[in-house]
Structures are given as structure tokens and as C-alpha cells.
Structure 1
Amino acid sequence: MRASAPWLKCETLAVPCESVYLHGVRWRCVSPAPVRRIGRFLVGAILLSVSTSAGGQPLVAQDTGAIEVTVRGDVSGGYATRASVDDSPRPAVDAASVLSGLPSVHVRRLGADGSFGTLSVRGAASSQVGVFLGGIPLTSAADPSLDLGALPLWPGASFRVHRGFAPASLGTTGYLGGVLAIEPPSVTDGERTSWWTAAGSFGALKLRAGDLRREGRVTIAAGVSAARADNDFSFELADPITRATREVRRNNAGYASASGIARVAVDFSWGSVGTLVFGDARRLGLPGSADSPTTASRLETSRMAVGVDVTARTGAQGAARALAWVRHESSAFTDPLGELDPLHPGAVVEEAIRAAGLQIGWRGRPAAPLTLGLVADARIEQFDPGDTAQIEAHRVAGGIGFDLVFRPEIARWPGHPLSLTASARIDARSDDADRAPSREIAPSGHLGAALSLSPAAVLAVHLGALRRSPGFVELYGDRGTLRGDPGLRPERALSIDAGVHGDIGTPHLQLGYEIVAFATEARDLIAFVPLGRSTFRAENLDHGTLLGAEASLLLSTRRLRTSISYTLLSARNTGDDPLTTGRQLPGRPAHDLAYDAAYRFGPLVLRYGLDAVAGTTVDEGGTIVLPPRVLHGVGAALDVPRVPGLRASLDVDNLFDLRTLHTESQLTSRAVPLPLSDFLGFPLPGRALWATLQWSFRQGE
């Protein structure tokens, strides 16, 4: 319902068609043969990615961690992958760059760095992925998708992606695509003071600084960041009349942002008390689509979240925890020339989201082979549309759940090689808006098992039922072009995954790998379908089937570090509509590969990265397939001699300046250029140069 996300509707629009008119040209499906060839190339790249080298110094002097590709932490949450700013194999200029290389994680951008971006996990839409910061939900009924472009970074920022299944302790197991859990600053990796600054193409400037320390019983972790960019770049566009190409300048795409985060915790003999404060503000231009550019439309957003947690030990084998939190978000959309809303030129649309919640839980070991976690939580949420014609909506929700891990003793296999897991929740909600109430009781959960044959081979399988409740705009519409339905059923899915992962280590080589296959059958997917001209109505659709495999590999030696992540996905509409059944769901690439390698020569580290995406459709009919694209990146980092902790880096993204792809059109006898994009009509920039300088001082160094 927020003005910041009108283009999110294109992810769920169900428009049955055999072709689409764009810029006056009728586009048709390209031959699948190039897609098959790209697929064979990507699979082959996995087999060729492993190489080794011995001797010399450790590869990374400051970035000592490794990309986790195996199940870590609470195994009741299923497969999870961790990434952090410190361990990122590519320049961590924004959150999207840190997350984009993870298995089954696909980031879609509307433009250059800092522009609107969405996150998809295992083919799920962005509204089906939950986002939490230190247990505080950043997504809600009023704003179900997180804008990755607005998510700031700070020194040591760390993320954990739960793919498909998440622990009940996070507050829900009902997201169809999984959960992104953002970890607050912590001294777990040691006390330090650090800063990072960068200057890049398109007028980009970035700065972040942080301090993590412990003074007696008090732990203080804080970070600040600021960024700005003009984001003006050129791209080629086909003329709708002559079909000749012309160069167009992308304007009104700049942004400026600032943020801060702090966590203070005090330890006592019985436990601890902590406080988390997070806030950010952002102002950005809304450039519009390629064929309908704007010059003055803009959006201003702000967000504040505060959480207070108390942890108390309950004997030697357990601890109780309580978390209370509040969150406030506001946005102001300005369109002085009526470029995006011609019916209301000069209008200022101000909206606000207010939410508060409480969570109480206990985790411990009631018996030697059993680990049990219990949780109960409740929250209230309000959407305030300001003076607009949209509907003010309220939600009261709560739930109870448990996470269980059972490790039985097996005489022939000492050391608890078998783990049986279970996670379940029962959630209830009550919505009210304009005397159109909506209520629901939703059970969800999953079961799992993991068998450790050795550290090099751990087998795991999870299966369960997932749900997502409809959001306010889907239930009640916006009193404009979108019409809601208070009787919408929640999105439901049955999902299963199975795989193997392991770690192999020698004095000169460390190898970690993970291979997982997954399948999801979704029902009652919510989409906005056409209802007359320029009007859409929220409806429950039939079925969708997601089948796929994800593979990750990390290899490091004393000089070399190389990693690869590949996702193969088949996302099909399996409903009853004859125009769309069996077709690929839009925005989900069939092949997605990320490869990174770094090699050290003394104080110098050289980097190479590759991103390849193929088989992405843009319409519900599956008739428009974006041409495959392969982007290259290179970089060099120097640990400055005689200045401990100081590193200078130079990186180039999109090395070969790919800005245009060529697609065949039925109305021309030759291929017509199409701007490189994730969302059709919103071009991406070409080559980008980043110069960075960072310094980190760790306690005791």
C-alpha cells in the first residue's frame, strides 16, 4: 500500500497473453536453444571451478571468515546460509551485492546501486520472504516486501538466509520462500574499531564506521553509514516508429541515505539485559520506466525500530528470553508535475506504518538427547494512509510454537550422528479496515532429519507445510486501480528438500560443499488480475510448482580462495487457466550462477567474479524470455605496508560494459536492442568502478 512500492505489483500480475507490446514493438518468445546452451555452460562451469595452490601466506589477512554453505546453528530451521560484509567475496557496496551470490537467492533491481531491489528465495516472490533484524520484523502486512536498496550496511553486518523453512522462534514458519535474518552488531568475532569508505561511478560516495567493545559487564556495538549517488547513465532504446535505436539518458535516479544502529547489553549473574536501536532515512528520485521517464518525482522514507530483550538462565540447561519491540515507518511521495499520477499533479502522499510486539520464549535441554525451544508472541500493526483515499487498516496477531531437536544415542555410531527435528506454530490474526474484517487461524510447521556419516558427508531432509497471510493491499485494495478481497485465502504450500553437505580440511586445503534438491507445491497464490481497463483485482489463483537444485562450493588454500553457487529452477504455473498452465512464472531465472575467485601475491589480492543468468520470463504467458546475460567483475586489494589494518581496493563491475541485449521481434527482420534489466523497462547501468579504503583495528593486535 506504500507509495514506495507501486512496481511490486508487476511480480504478481497474472496477465494471460501470448505476446506483449513494449515501446510499440510486439515481442515474442525467443528460441529455447540459447537457453539450453547457456544451461550447459553453467553446469560445465561448476565442474571446472575447482583449482588448488599450495604455499605462501594466508589468502585473507583481514577477512578471516569463510562463506558458510552448510547447516549452522539451529538445525530445526532447515538449510541456512550465512553471509557477511567481512566475508563477502565481492565488493560489499550494498546489501544486494552481499546476498546475490548465495544459493537460491536472486536479487532484482530497478536500476543502479541504491535503487529499489527485491529478494527472491527458491523462486518465491519477494512478498513471500520475511525479513527480521535481531528478532524485530521489518516486513509486515502493510509493507510485505523489503526494499534491499534501502537496507543499510554497517561494519561487520551479517545475514542468515533460511531457505524454505525457518525456526518457529523467529516469529513465523509461514513464509513460502524463507526468512532473511539480519544479525545486530556483536562482539562475537572480537572487539574492534573500523571504517570503510568508497567512491564509485555515477557519482556514488559511501561511508560506514563501527565500534565493537566490551567494558566490564557492558557490551557496546554501534555502526553508522551514509551514502549518495546521482545514478545518471545512458542506455539504448528502440524507437517505436522507425525501430531505430537512440541513446537515452537515465535521470532523476539519484538518492541520499543515512542510518545508524546500536546495541548495548549488560551482563548480570542471572542473565543479561540488552537494547537495540536502529534508524535510517532515505531520499530518492523515482525515474519511471524507460519509455515514461520522470524529472521531478521523488520519495522520502524513514524507519525507526527499538527492541529491549531480557535473558535469564533457568538452571544449568536452559534460559528464558523476552523481547519487546516497536517499529515506525513513514514515507512521503511527491509528484509535482503529475508524471506518475497525472490525475493528481502536485499532490504529496504521506503514509505511516506503526507496529509493536512482544515475544517470550524458553530454550533448554530437558533431557540429555533433547533440545527444546518454546515461544509465544503477539503484535499489533496499523497502516495510516494520511490524507489519501486509501483505507486505514489494523492487524492484531499472535502465535505459539516450538522447535525441537532430538539426538538419540546409537551404539554403533557414537557422538549423536542422527538428529531428528521438528518445528511448528499456530498463528491467529484479526484484521479490520473500513468495516471489512478478516480473520484466520493458521497452523504451519515442518519435520527434518540429519545423518552425519562423517564431517565430509552429512545427509539432511526437511518437509512441511508453509503459509502466508494476505497483506492489507490484497485484502482491501487502495481505493484506486487495485481492488482487494477481504475473503482471500492465505497462500499455502507443501515443500520438501533433501541434500548433502560437508567440510574437508587439511593443513593446506579447506573444502566445503552443499548440494540440495527442493520441491514446492503452492496453492491459492495471490495475484492482481485485470478487471477492465487499468483496474486490477486481488484473487486466489490455482497452483504453482517449483522444482530446483542448489549447489555451493567453497575451496580455499594458503593463496587461493574460490567459491561457486548455482541454482537450477523450474517455476511453473500449474493452474487451470489454459493460457498460462505449464508456463514459466515470470521473474524466476531457470539458471543462476555466481562464481568468485581471489588469489594472493604477498600483500596484493586479485579478484575475479562472474554472474550468469538465463531463462527469465517477464510475462505470465511465458512468451517473453529475456536473453541470457553474463557479467564479469575484477578487482585488486592491497594491504598497505607498515600500516596495520589498512586496505585499499579497486574493483570494476560489469567489466565489458554490457548495457544492451538483442531480442528478435515479430515486426522486424533483425534483432532489436533491449536495455539490460531485471524488470522490463527499468534498465541497469553499464560498467561501474569502485575505489575503497578500509581500516580495522582489533583489540590485542
Structure 2
Amino acid sequence: MAFVRLVLAWWLVGSVVSCALARAQDGGDATFRARAEVERPIASRTPLDPTASSTRVEIDTTRVESMRDVLARVPGARALGTGAFGQPLGLSLRGADVAHSTVMLGDLPLTGPDLGAFDLGAIDLGSIAAIEVYRGGAPAMLGEGAIGGVIRLVPSRAEGRRAGASVSYGSFDTGIARAWGAVRGDGLSSLVALSFDAADNDHPFVDDGGTRLDPTDDRERARRNAGTRGASGLLHLEVPLDVGELEAVMLWVSRASGVPGAGSQLASEARRATDRYAGSVAYRLGGPSLSLEVMGGGWYGRAAFLDRLNELGTGQHASDDRQLRAFGRIAGSWSPVRELAVRALLTARHDRLEPDDPLVRTSLGASHRDGLVAVLEGAIDPRIDHLRIALRPSVRLEWSDAHLEQLELVSRLARSVEVIAPTFRLGAAIAPIAGIAISASIAHGTRIPSMIELFGDRATLVANVRLEPERATSIDAGVTVQERIVPGLELEAELRGFVSLAESLIRYRRTAQYTAVAENVASATIAGLELGVDLRALDHVRLEGALTFLDARDELGRLLPFRPQWHGFARVEASTGRALDRDVALSGFVSASYTAANAVDPANLVVIGDRTWIDLGARVALFGVIGISCAVRDLLDARGQDYLGLPLPGRRFVAQADIQGDL
């Protein structure tokens, strides 16, 4: 088997390199293309694959939004947080666990299904230009898993010579400061973005005293030990060469927070700190008919957790864990004719985890995981008169070898797991008329338990070394509309149905200690509908909405925990533009989000009630350079709980001033 893997890897590398060198000798365009050129693209909400279930959300930092607000626009997606501002935030796609999806910075995986969930709350919106969310079977050339999906963060890039800054302040002493500068020239384009934030998060909550069924001892208290401090930075460089182009992206995020514990189990001294440094360098050359991309990168992360007094009930901890990933990628595309392209991808990665906790009697030793992924995809785009068709068949082979160690007092337990996982995806789209596309896809994926799921995080996630790999087959179909209905009125919408048939599904169950443990469900069926709408009228009115119906059940027909059947978001924004005054523009918005009641245990006995959040906001823009904004979050003070039962902040205010312009 090792010989077969070696032959496959070198065959892919040799094929794409030889093709690229032959093309370079003939000359050609210095722009890398991942797909064949078409005269009129099939309607799709992302540019990468018209057969994928995907949504792209552009980032506008003047809108006074958080990462949770941006993700609410994606149908089939639900943001899962563990508290107020600055606390960990993940994204569940179509009922899958947050660890089932890969978060990528461009083409660099910041984490993956094999390493556990990534904290999207650590990413500042000022560092990214857009978020692309691929639900279900993701496009093959991303090289990532197919159970949950892929969240792709598109880094901001230089557009001209511009700079800007913003400062915001809100309830519970929440402050954010951002600054950025960009220069685009003939020889070098660069962008630098920095952000700093802080919050006390001392919002009120109802303490039930640990007696849920007895309201007589309920008291309203202020949240303590929930403060957070964070910082992040992004550097994006683009360098055109005589042959090809070079791109470098570097990201740094850091956060230190208190861990307040549950409402009735307060913690005053527990702390958590995380740091991550990521970077990649990519070289691209070729044109529409033949292209090559070579990329190398990785990241280093540190996660510290301190609970010397055992306030959270998981034992005494003073952990300082390190994680390392080294990543390499080579991709090539060959298009002999406009209607056909063949693409190949090979990635290699090395992951290493070095946990350290002197207060734990049974500790974890250094663990590592090596992996290879080989992908072969066909892009078939026939045209029959005015009928446009796109077919995307692909196969993917993943090899992973994990070595996990556990240190006892006088012995060492080692566990080695080798997995070879073949997967596939078949996507199809047809455009009967311009602006409307009907698409469908089927994909099969396998995911091995992550290190976090196996060994926990010593805080809110409990270890379970008996977990088995997950397997799932997902099917979806729907219609996408991108149409200018009349001059000044543009509609972008999608409606899809989906079903996922999963075996040995891993999901989290909340325990009595306000922690969660990962467990296997023998089998589960997750089905649903998702609707997304973006309607714009004359640059003065914009309506955005997302609605998801989800029916996720285990083999006994019970609803899976933490998966509400209904989840929706709607936002209406109106702007005067320059209709009233060339130098002054007024705008305002109102948004509402709804989450249905959902169970927190497999027996569906403990239920978190439904909740509705309403937000209001307004903005004044002066001379196209200066802006002043304000917003009210959770206007009705609904508050509620997160998926671990921790209290969420209620009504809160925020104000922002920003300035940007040409240099």
C-alpha cells in the first residue's frame, strides 16, 4: 500500500509539473485559473464551482457587524458561540458539528476535520474581504472534506493606494480599533491590516442557583470573569513576475479571556489564552488552457488554560498546549478544449500536538499526524444551443497516519491509527435561460475523530478515546437565480433541499457539569431546506434573508441535540445615497433572527426555548470619507443561552466612527 501511495503521489506531481513547464516554454498568460474560461457563467453565488451549494458574503466594516452577524446571511448555516463578545465561535453547516467543516484562509487550511473546530470569533472582519461558505460536498480543488463543508476566508487585497481606520465602543466596555493601508503598483501590491479589541462582558443574567425547577431562588447578577482582550494582523503581498506571479499571506491572531463558568457554577480565576501565526506563499503560472500552482505554508498555535482551583469541575489545570501544521499543495489544470478541463491536486500535511499540563496526573504526550490527499476532477461544460451545462465529477483519496500518546505515572500508552479514505463527488448544473441555474450533487465523505474530540480541551469538552470514524453521504439539489429584473432591481436567490445519511456520527452531549462530551450515534439522517435572498433596488434599498428548516434524527427517530428545526434571519437596509446631498448620505437598517427551541440531550428531555433577536442601526456618511454609525443589538432584551447553556448578553449598544480615503 505504501508503494501505491508513493507511485500515485509522484505521478500527480510529475504530470502537473511537466505540463506547466511545457506551457511556460510556449509563453502564455501569467494568471492562474482554476477552471475553464466560459463566455457567460452559469448562475452561482460563488465563482469557484457552479454545481456547489455555496454562498459568498462580502465584508463591509462600516456596517458595525460582528462575525456572527455576517454568518447569519448564509442559508443552511448556524453560528454556535459559547458566550458574549470574544468567546469561541463556530459554524454548523446543515446540522453537522462545527468540527466537520474546514476553515481556510484562501487555499491554506487553518484547521480541518482532523484537528477540531476553528474559532471564527478570533478573525477580525477588517482582515478579510469576503466569506465563501460551501455546504455539503465542497468543490474538489479545495482538497478538503465533504461531511460538513468548507468556510473559506478571502483575505483583503490592495485596491489602489488607500488607507482607513475605525474605532467603536459599546455596552459592557466593548471596544474595537482597526487600521489598514494598501498600495497597488506595477511591481508590488501590499495590504496591512491591524485590529485590537477588549470587552468586560459583565452583562446581567439570571442565576437559578442550580435549581432549574424552583424559581423562588432566582437572582439577577452581573457576569464576572468574562473579560477578553484580542489582537490580529494581516499582511497580503502580490508580486507579478516575468513568468507567473507570487502571492504571500500572513495572519496573526491572539486572544486572552476569562472563563466565567455556568450561571450557577461561577468561576472567578479560570483563564484561557490562544495565539496563532499562519502564513503561505504561492506561485502561479499559466493561462486558461494550462496552469500550475505550487503553495507552501502552515501555522503555529498555542492554547493555554488555567484553572488551579477546579472552579469548572473538570479538575485542576495549568495547560500550555502547542499545535503545529506544515502544509504543501500542488495543483494543475489542463484544458484541451473550451468544453473540457482536467484538474489534479496533491496536498501533504504534518500536524503535531504537544500538550503540557503539570497539574494533570494522567497527561498527554506529544502526538502527530501525517496526511496526503490526491484529487482528480473533470470539468465538463458542454453547450447545446442556448442551454448551458456543467458537470464536475471528482475522486479524492486521503491517507492519514496519527500517533497519539498518553503518559501514565509509570508507563506510556501509545495509539497509532492509519486511515485510507476514498471519497467522491459528482455535481451537475444546467442553465435553461440566462440568470437561472438548476444544480444537484452527491458526495461521500469520511472523517476520523479529531484530537480534541478524543482527548477534550480540559475545559468544556470532555475526553472520549472510544470514538469511531464518521462516514456520510450527502445529496442536494436546488435552483439559483441571479437576475436584473428591471433596471435598478437586482435579485440573487437560492433554494435547495438536502439530505445527509451519516453513520457513527459524532455529536456533543451536554453533561450536568455544563460541559459537553463527544459521542457516536449509530446512524443519523439529516434532511432540510434552505433559502437565501439578496434583493437590491436602485442602490437605496437592500433586503437580505436566510431561512433553514432542519430535521436531524438518530436511528430511534429522536431529534439530535443542538439542532433547532427552524433558523432564520432577515435584514432590511435603506440609504439615501447622494439623492439628498452630494456630501451627506443617510442609511439605516433593521434585522431579526429567530432560532426555534431545541433539545440539549439525546432523549429530548431538556430543551432550550426559542428566541428572537431584533437589531436596529443608523449611519451618517460625510464626503464619502467619514462615517458615524450606531446600533442597538437585541432590542427586546431576549438574551437566551448558548448551546452549552451559558447566558448570552441582552440589549446592548455600539457606536463607531470610521475614516478612509485615497493616499
Report TM bin, short chain: 0.7 to 0.9
| Local SS of the residue matching 2:74 | coil
Say which is worse superposed, 470-479 or 316-325, in terms of deviation: 470-479
What are the Cα deviations for residues 225-281 of structure 1, in whole angstroms up to 9, with x where unaligned? 110000001122334285312112211101001111101121012101222111121
**Aligned match of 1:251 in 219, 224, 227?**
224
- Who is 2:37 aligned against? none
Q: Tell me by how many angstroms 1:292 deviates.
A: 0.4
User: Residue 155 of structure 1 contacts residue 208 of structure 1 at CA under 8 Å; is this kept in 2?
Assistant: no
Secondary structure (helix, strand or coil) at the match of 2:415 reads coil
**Contact 1:287 1:297 survives alignment (8 Å):** yes
Look up the equivalent residue of 1:128 and give its one-letter code.
Answer: H
Match of 1:563 in 2: 544
Q: Name the SS for the 1:97 alignment partner.
A: helix
The CA deviation at 1:160 is 0.5
Output the amino acid matched with 1:647. Answer: G
Which one of the candidate residues 451, 468, 472 is aligned to 1:493? 472
Q: 1:594 aligns with which of 561, 564, 569?
A: 569
Please list, as runs of the form range in 1=range in 2, the aligned pairs for 1:541-556 lying within 5 A after superposition: 541-556=521-536
Structure 1 residues 496-523: Cα deviation after superposition (integer angstroms, max 9, x where no partner):
1111111221212111211111111111
Q: Distance in 1 between matches of 2:513 and 2:621?
A: 60
Contact 1:457 1:502 in 2 (8 A): yes
Q: Which residue, 501, 505, 510 being the options, matches 2:490?
A: 510
Percent identical residues: 29
Paired residues of 1:335 and 1:341 also in contact (CA < 8 A): no
Counterparts of 2:297 and 2:630, CA distance in 1: 41
One-letter amino acid of the structure 1 residue matched with residue 364 of structure 2: Q
Partner residue of 2:398 out of 411, 422, 427: 427
Instruction: Give the 3-state SS of the residue equivalent to 1:258 in structure 2.
Output: strand
Render the CA deviation track for 1:593-620: whole Å, top value 9, x for unaligned.
Answer: 1000011234111211011111322111
1:445 aligns with 2:424: yes
Deviation (angstroms), 1:472? 2.2
Compared CA separation, residues 290 and 142, structure 1 to 2 (3 A): farther
The one-letter code sitting in structure 2 at the alignment partner of 1:571 is A
* Corresponding residue pairs, total: 596
- Check whether the contact 1:597–1:609 (CA below 8 A) recurs between aligned residues: yes
Within-5 A mapping of 1:594-673:
594-601=569-576, 602=580, 603-640=585-622, 643-659=623-639
Q: Which moved more, 1:117-126 or 1:534-543?
A: 534-543
Select 1:295's aligned residue among 263, 268, 278.
Answer: 268
Which among 392, 398, 405 is matched to residue 372 of structure 2?
A: 398
- Displacement of 1:354: 0.9
**Residue 660 of structure 2 aligns with which residue?**
696
Q: Is the 8 A contact 2:43 2:482 kept in 1?
A: no
1:25-104 equivalent positions in 2, closer than 5 A = 70-75=44-49, 78-86=52-60, 91-92=64-65, 94-104=66-76
Q: CA deviation at 1:636?
A: 0.7
Q: Distance in 2 between matches of 1:255 and 1:133?
A: 24
Q: Is the 8 A contact 2:427 2:440 kept in 1?
A: yes
Cα distance in structure 1, aligned partners of 2:229 and 2:319: 20
SS in 2 for 1:165: coil
**Does residue 192 of structure 1 match 2:162?**
yes
Match of 1:362 in 2: 332
**In structure 2, the residue corresponding to 1:524 is in which secondary structure?**
strand
SS of 1:202 mapped into structure 2: helix
Q: Residues 51 and 391 of structure 2 are in contact (CA less than 8 Å); yes or no, is this contact kept in structure 1?
A: no
Are 1:373 and 2:343 matched, yes or no? yes
What TM-score does the superposition give when structure 1 sets the normalisation length? 0.80
Q: Deviations over 1:61-111 (max 9, x none)?
A: xxxxxxx994321216611111132289x632x322211221111012222
Per-residue CA shift, 1:141-198, capped at 9, x if unaligned?
67410122222222553211001121222222x24110101112223x6553222221
State how far apart, in whole Å, the 2-side matches of 1:385 and 1:162 are: 32
> Is 2:650 the counterpart of 1:686?
yes
Q: Secondary structure at the match of 1:376?
A: strand
Distance (whole Å) between structure 2 residues aligned to residue 370 and residue 214 of structure 1: 35
Q: Which residue of 2 aligns with 1:217?
A: 187
| Number of the residue aligned with 1:208 | 178
* Map of 1:35 onto structure 2: none
- Which aligned pairs between 1:110-509 and structure 2 lie closer than 5 A? 110-140=82-112, 143-154=115-126, 156-172=128-144, 174-187=145-158, 191-239=161-209, 240=211, 243-244=215-216, 245-313=218-286, 317-340=289-312, 343-344=315-316, 347-388=317-358, 389-410=363-384, 412-413=385-386, 417-434=388-405, 435-475=414-454, 482-485=463-466, 489-505=468-484, 506-509=486-489
Partner of 2:18: none
Q: Aligned AA for 2:343?
A: G
The one-letter code sitting in structure 2 at the alignment partner of 1:243 is P
Q: TM-score, normalised by structure 2?
A: 0.85
SS in 2 for 1:96: helix
Deviation string 1:554-584 (CA, Å, 9 cap, x unpaired) is: 211122111111111111112xxxxxx2111
Structure 1: runs of 5+ lacking an equivalent? 1-67, 575-580, 660-675
The question of whether the paired residues in 1 share the 8 Å contact of 2:51 and 2:440 is answered with no
* Partner SS, residue 433 of structure 1: strand
Q: Which amino acid aligns with 1:490?
A: P
Whole-Å Cα distance in 2 between the matches of residues 527 and 316 of structure 1?
A: 43
SS at match of 2:172: coil
1:523 aligns with 503
The alpha-carbon deviation at position 385 of structure 1 amounts to 0.7
Tell me by how many angstroms 1:528 deviates.
Answer: 7.2
Query: 1:230 is matched by which residue type in structure 2?
Result: D
Greater mean alpha carbon deviation, residues 75-84 or residues 99-108: 75-84
CA RMSD in angstroms comes to 2.7
Quote the Cα distance in structure 1 between the aligned partners of 2:51 and 2:329: 18
Alpha-carbon distance change, 119 to 462 in structure 1, aligned in 2, over 3 angstroms: same
Partner secondary structure for residue 364 of structure 2: coil
Q: Which moved more, 1:362-371 or 1:529-538?
A: 529-538
For 2:382, the aligned partner's letter is P
Q: Aligned partners of 2:58 and 2:105: how far apart in 1?
A: 14
Aligned match of 1:56:
none
> In the alignment, residue 598 of structure 2 is paired with which amino acid?
T
Measure how far apart 1:456 and its partner are: 3.7
